[in-house]
Amino acid sequence: MRALYFICFAFIITLGCSCSYKQNQILFEKRASTIADTAQQMPATLSYKIQPQDILQIRNLQSLRYIVDEMPVSATSANTTAGQGQTFQVEEDGTVALPALGHIQVAGLTRSQATKLIEDLYRKSLLKDPIIELKVINLKVTLLGEIRSPGNFPIVKDNTTLVEMIGQAGGLTPAANEKNIKIIRGKGKLQNVTEIDLSNINSLSDPRSILQNGDIVYIAQNKRAIRSDNLQSFNTWVQPALLLLNTALLIFTLGRR
């Protein structure tokens, strides 16, 4: 009888130990580079430069008829959203075709540089004192892990920070590890990982936290959440085992009578 109790006790202890080593987070565990290396690769400020295939949203703030004053309101096409301006795709050669101007070279320019260029060209050829608003609307960041609303989020302005993007996603969950937030950038051999510690107030001014198009932000669980999940997993395994043990002991006891 004592031997049976000992075997069952050893089984439960072994089961509990095996559960305690369960990996709760397996995404992005391997570091592609050190923090110091990544910091050297990232400039202090980031102004996105327009690339082929980018989608530009352009409107003239001086006119409700968007870019060209003479454009009839009824002629707005499918790529026009009321009150937001028209969208134009940058071609493979780096140009964008604009009404009354034709193809304009914009690839390699920042948003502010392209805005000034288009304003100057319209001022010379068609419009009086245009105020052009230009947005690159295809830029996005992916947030995964312990975030209240994971998914893809647009980068609507230059130098968008990690904290701003987390705010757009509703903030971190209580299970989030704010001391080790990973920013995964690039592809293949050029991929690198930056780790940001949001428990440190200096991270608010850390240039490494400025996000770029295509970044993946991953927030892992904190230790307390991992322990809680391990305990829950342990209980899930132990309760059926104890029920089976009690049944076996009951059968064994009744069989000896």
Domain limits for position 102? 55-136
Question: Could you tell me if residue 257 is inside a domain?
Answer: no
Cβ-Cβ contacts under 8 Å for 183 (sequence gap 6 or more) = 162, 193, 194, 195, 196, 208, 209, 211, 215, 216, 217
Same domain, 190 and 66: no
On whether both 87 and 73 belong to a single domain, the answer is yes
More confident call, 26 vs 41: 41
Six-digit token string for 77: 């096409």
Based on the domain organization, do 165 and 217 belong to the same domain? yes
User: 140-145 and 216-221 as β-strands: parallel, antiparallel, unpaired?
Assistant: parallel
CATH of the domain at 128: 3.30.1950.10
Residue 77 lies inside a defined structural domain of this protein: yes
pTM to 2 decimal places = 0.66
For residues 41 and 147, membership in a common domain is answered with yes
Residues 70 and 96 reside in one and the same domain:
yes
Residue 234 lies in a domain: no
When pLDDT is cut at 50, 70 and 90, the band that residue 62 belongs to is confident
State yes or no: pLDDT of 25 exceeds 60: no
Averaged pLDDT, 147-163: 94
- Identify whether residues 39 and 150 lie together within a single domain: yes
The answer to whether residues 59 and 127 belong to one domain is yes
Residue 228 confidence (pLDDT) above 90: no
**Does 100 reside within a domain?**
yes
**Average pLDDT of the residues of the chain:** 78
Domain identity same for 126 and 158 = no
The last residue of a domain, from among 136, 157, 190: 136
Residue 5 resides in a domain: no
Q: Distance between CA atoms of 195 and 33, rounded to whole angstroms?
A: 10
Q: Examine the domain organization and report whether 130 and 153 are in the same domain.
A: no
Residue 153 placed within a domain: yes
Residue at a domain's end among 136, 155, 175: 136
Could you say which of 114, 136, 158 is where a domain stops?
136
Same-domain check for residues 122 and 146: no
Name, of 20-34, 59-73, 110-124, 243-257, the range with top average pLDDT: 110-124
153 and 210 share a domain? yes
The CATH number of the domain holding residue 163 is 3.10.560.10
More confident residue, 90 or 14: 90
- Rounded to whole angstroms, the Cα distance separating 36 from 58 reads 39
* Domain presence at residue 207: yes
Q: Tell me if 188 is assigned to some domain.
A: yes
Residues forming a β-bridge with 195: 182
Give me the number of domains the chain comprises. Answer: 2
198 burial (CB, 10 Å; 0-12 / 13-18 / 19+) is: buried
> pLDDT tens-digit profile of 101-115?
999 999 999 999 999
Whether residues 181 and 198 fall in one domain: yes
